[in-house]
Structure 1
Amino acid sequence: MLDACAEIVDEVGYEGLTTTLLAERAEVAIGSVYQFFPDKRAIVQALTLRNIEAYLQRLNERFAGGEFTYWWDGVDAGIDEYISMHRNVRGFRTLHFGDVVDVRLLDESQDNNAVIANELTKVLVERFGIPDEPRLRFALQIAVEAADSLIKLAFRRDPDGDDDVLREAKALIREYLHRHVDSTPAVGGTTTPTVGGTATPTAEPALAPSGGNA
């Protein structure tokens, strides 16, 4: 049913989606739809959660491949996977992470993009050992909001994503996050990840106090 939902919203948008149309496309009785979903909002919420799981799985697989050296590689991968889902995942270009339905579809206490930023924070903290502090989450939430808006613009300009806009989006996000990065070499040639000024020797640059220079 979720696959059928993705196909329908690609064709007619969220407003055109109905439970009757979904049942017909999925070749199930309408009662089977209501057995699992009370309305189309619940269907889209389930599809959005599946997309988030797929997004995070893709990121984790890339991290597991050991191809990243610095924190920026992880951010870059996050942007690339978001772009890829726009291009390759049915329904995603319309629904994104559910904001077309409700900006708090995933969690009533915070915006959908805040949920994504929190998940990205977990990935970056686990991979690069950056201290998990509110300022880090705030910076990533700003980055996610900006990237989301610019990527949507790119796909409005070109069905496959305007490459010029996508390049500018990456450059903007990288420049913004680098203003929170302290990559000053430590003893032995390593860098010291800091959030709030506490240094810990490591091999990667990391977030520094807001307003710092890369």
Structure 2
Amino acid sequence: MTPDVASAPRAPQSAVAARRVAQIVDAAARLVEEGGAERLTTTAIAHETGLAIGSVYRYFPDRVAILVELGRRSRERLQQRLDDAFRLGQPTLEQAIDAFVDTVAQHYRVEPAVRSLGMGDRIDLGPDRARIQWSEVASPVVDALVREHGVQHALAAVALDTAGPMVDALVELAFRDRAAGEPTFLQHAHLVARGACRRIVG
């Protein structure tokens, strides 16, 4: 995602600054979980953190920049979860695809703010709206398909870029009204992912 310069977070220059940024983003995540991204304000974040409003603006020029950072962190954390899930390997292609879907669902389960933000691609930045490449977010899955199942890298990337948005949409529906996830939507996510990947990788 390439936000407007005015909405870009300012890079922290010290350990203290890094902690402040994490504090602000953590507070934003809690507030988004409670009220959705649309209702997030810098005033609410200042109140939640106990920081002066000027301290919030010291690190982020506006609420959009905070949401952008929250989306970036969400993608980073999902990638780490996928890396952990695929570290030990998946015996079959179907099990690898299922592990991808299960990990996305687990991400939604443990980080409720993602239900409002998605991977950051639901933040309205006009022409600079995020274009999420699932082959990048799910690079551990792409690598595993190549390494363990003999799939060509280009085909594995296309498979994840095709299946990823559909899985994300179905998982979002699964968690829209149920904290544990609606099983029917999650089951469909598995079926859609398997079908999409099988059509592409053979």
Is the CA contact (8 Å cut-off) linking 2:108 and 2:114 kept in structure 1? yes
Q: Give the alignment of 1:1-214 within 5 angstroms.
A: 1-64=24-87, 66-102=88-124, 108=128, 111-112=131-132, 114=133, 116-120=134-138, 122-127=139-144, 128-129=146-147, 130-133=151-154, 135-156=155-176, 158-180=178-200, 207-208=201-202
1:132-186, CA deviations, whole angstroms, 9 ceiling, x for partnerless residues?
22x5433322211211222222223534321012112201221221122xxxxxx
Q: Is the 8 A contact 1:95 1:101 kept in 2?
A: yes
Q: 1:45 to 1:153 in 2, by over 3 A?
A: same
Per-residue deviation, 1:21: 0.8
In structure 1, the partner of 2:19 is none
Mark the CA change 1:169 to 1:125 in structure 2 (over 3 Å): closer, same or farther. Answer: closer
Structure number with the higher helix fraction is: 2
CA positional deviation for 1:74: 3.0
| Identity of matched residues, % | 31
Q: Describe the shift of the 1:85–1:126 C-alpha distance in structure 2 as closer, same or farther (beyond 3 A).
A: closer
* TM-fit CA distance, 1:73: 2.9
**Distance verdict in 2 for CA 1:92–1:125, change over 3 Å:** closer
Larger radius of gyration: 1
The structure-2 alpha-carbon separation of the partners of 1:163 and 1:109, relative to structure 1 and needing over 3 Å to count, comes to closer
Aligned equivalents of 2:141 and 2:126: distance in 1?
24
Structure 2 vs 1, CA of residues 61 and 34 (structure 1 numbering), >3 Å: closer, same or farther? same
Q: CA deviation at 1:104?
A: 8.3
Counterpart contact for 1:147–1:169, Cα < 8 Å: yes
SS in structure 1 opposite 2:86?
Answer: helix
Contact 2:97/2:190, CA 8 A, preserved across alignment: no
Q: Give ranges in structure 2 of 5+ residues lacking alignment.
A: 1-23
Quick check: 1:9–1:17 contact (8 Å CA) kept in 2? yes
Aligned CA-pair RMSD: 2.4
Change (3 A) 1:160 1:125: closer
Q: Is the 8 A contact 2:167 2:189 kept in 1?
A: yes
- Cα displacement string for residues 27-74 of structure 1 (whole angstroms, at most 9, x for unaligned residues): 11111111111111110111111111111111111222x141234333
Instruction: Using CA pairs under 8 Å that are at least 6 residues apart, name the structure with larger relative contact order, 1 or 2.
Output: 2
Q: Which secondary structure state, in structure 1, belongs to the residue aligned with residue 166 of structure 2? A: helix
Distance change >3 Å, CA 14–CA 2, structure 1 → 2? same
Q: State how far apart, in whole Å, the 2-side matches of 1:110 and 1:14 are.
A: 15
